[in-house]
A and B are shown apart, each in its own frame.
Chain A
Amino acid sequence: MPMRFNSLAFRLFATAAAWTLVVLPLAGLIIYGLYRDDVQASFDGQLRKLVNAITVDSMSLGSVPEAPANLYEPLFEVTHSGWYWQITPLDEPEAHKLVSPSLATASLPSPAAKNVAPDPSGARWMDVMGPKGEPLRVVEVIDTLGHDPDKPRYSIVVAGPLDWLEYLVSNFRNRLTTALALAGIGLVAVTLFQVRFGLLPLRRIERGLANIRSGEADTLQGELPAEIEPLQFELNELIRSNQEIVDRARRHVGNLAHALKTPLAVITNEAREEKGGFGAKVAKQAQIMSDNVSHYLDRARMAARVNVIGRVTPVAPVIGPLVRTLPRIHHEKNVEISSECPPDAYFRGERQDLEEMLGNLLDNACKWARRNVDLSVEVSSDSGSAHRRRLTIRVSDDGPGVSEEQRATIAKRGMRLDETKAGSGLGLSIVTDLAQSYGGTCELGRGPKGGLSVCLQLPAA
């Protein structure tokens, strides 16, 4: 699954990756600097040893300096090898000047002549260009023969090739960069894995909630990490209490219905027996009360159900009993109901609501039909998303049907609740209201056999 910018995974990953990208180059720079200093110090140490050895070797005996007996460095013998030494008299310019064979006819500049200050040990250091134009590191010691302060001074210069040093350092730099880059990639990969693995329980919650929505589960199931366990518990409690509230509301509404309807029946019947104007008035008002009770009880039942998650109803088991029962209720007409319903048709909502919608539609169709009522259920699979699947339920009869104007009136009444007179007309207003409360539609049309055809669109699961 791609990572979204606005996600926990991205936040965790981005902070870890940013930290890695900052820390690794910084560490690389520090390590590189330390190594470079170390290599330089070791190179300087080597030059220092060579200049000391040559000084001791050349300046200890005799009246003039002698070429060192020991080679110390074989490259002193190879012309323009980068490794040179040079002994120059300072006080007697015409005196003999000694140079390593590698220097041939060239000469090395003197740091002292360029006013380079000596270090605490008396050595002067300078980087210069060699006879070939190569960069050289030069160390100069000024000494007298046999360390006698009264004797003439000589400058002893030893040079080593800086490009060798550069080679060492750049070689190290390349290897260090490769190693750190690999470490960086590794760290980022581990972070990615860590984030995915760490957030896995959240994905499980996501799947669990989807299962509750689709009705495959009643609660959030499975073992979750200690940090999320309280969330799981609270969610399950919330779902349970939500369903309890709905069930309780339905029960109360049902009880209220029962409590009101019997006295209303008594009043209505009693008033009809009374032949005067008073009886007629009471009968009329009782009828209005009765209509309103039915009307608002239906709405109350509906309101009790709004936004309950996790209820899914298979359609076929709802259709079966209705198709079996309704012809018996309308036995005088010998109505036949033919129904077609795919086994995978599931309504995303309450069973009672689907029963009310289908019951009212079929009952209505049976009332008006001559002989036949047709019911068909289709699940639209064109839109790919599972959340957008829709149920199309068509109920049509072979009765007289209704005109276009009548259809418009019925539809209008259905849509505008407050103008609907409950219990009157075709009983479609509650169907329309229920369908709309689920984000569906209820449309009237002309059936293939000439009667009324009602098309219900509802969310499928």
Chain B
Amino acid sequence: MRVLVVEDDKDLKRQLVAALSDSGYAVDSAGDGEEGYFLGDTEPYDIVILDLGLPKMDGISILELWRRSDRKMPVIILTARDRWSDKVAGMDAGADDYLAKPFHMEELLARVRAQVRRASGHAKSEIECGPLMLDTKTARVTCAGQEIKLTSHEYRLLAYLMHHNGRVVSRTELVEHLYEQDFDRDSNTIEVFIGRLRKKIPVDLIQTVRGLGYRLSDEPEQG
């Protein structure tokens, strides 16, 4: 899952990036409104954390522009403005959640997880696919009740596939959603990690759809 953090306070931005990376997200960050708007407009993020008071361009304007150009990723507003009129304005501009500063990092992470899950159509915090179960709260994956040890990159890949289980996910999509902006997209890392995952979980769960990409499904492979 790829996250964009738009926050002008350097320390807070660093903390957010660190906490989100530790939780298995690929994180990009922007320190001003213009950069934030540009990144959100061009890159396929799974979720955005947006401050409102930003240099160069304010958060509400950024959000409105994204929504006007049909950018549908979930956006959590993170701001010191805690009046209800501000919250209403933020939600009306197209935000999906609103968190007032100061905040507990755990709460922000919980809300991020909830928004990501909701965006991919999962109501519960546990996502299941056959014997596999992903607990989004604890970032743990079990197979038939047994915990599977995963590296950070393996977790990211499997979590993305599980969020979108049953759907064909292209290699490009995986690259775009699993790695930060400056990742070298020509390398064959995805194939390497798919190979490693197949060794840790029942092999037929990750299906290769030739010419299109991969699909996580507990149903037999078609064609």
Contacts and interface: CB of A to CB of B under 8 A. Distances in A.
A332 B114 contact: yes
B82 A269 contact: no
Given A269-B105, A321-B92, A328-B91, A258 B11 contact: no
Interface string A266-277: 101110110000
A325 B101 contact: no
A269 B104 CA distance: 7
A359 B87 CA distance: 10
A257 interface: yes
B56 interface: no
B19 interface: yes
Given A321-B92, A331-B118, A262 B12 contact: yes
B151 interface: no
- In the complex, which range does the number of interface residues on chain A fall in? 20 to 34
B150 interface: no
B43 interface: no
Nearest to B13: A266
Contacts of A332: 114
B118 to A, nearest CB: 7
A424 to B, nearest CB: 14
B9 interface: yes
Interface residues of B, number: 27
Of A261, A286, A322, most B-chain CB atoms within 10 Å:
A261
A325 B12 CA distance: 27
A355 interface: yes
24 contacts: A257-B80, A258-B80, A261-B80, A261-B82, A261-B101, A262-B80, A262-B101, A263-B9, A265-B102, A265-B103, A269-B15, A321-B88, A322-B88, A324-B88, A324-B92, A325-B91, A325-B92, A328-B91, A332-B114, A351-B85, A352-B83, A355-B83, A355-B88, A356-B84
Interface of A: 254, 257-266, 268-270, 272-273, 286, 290, 294, 321-322, 324-325, 328-329, 331-332, 351-352, 355-356, 358-360
8 nearest interchain CB pairs? A359-B84, A261-B80, A265-B102, A261-B101, A258-B80, A321-B88, A325-B91, A355-B84
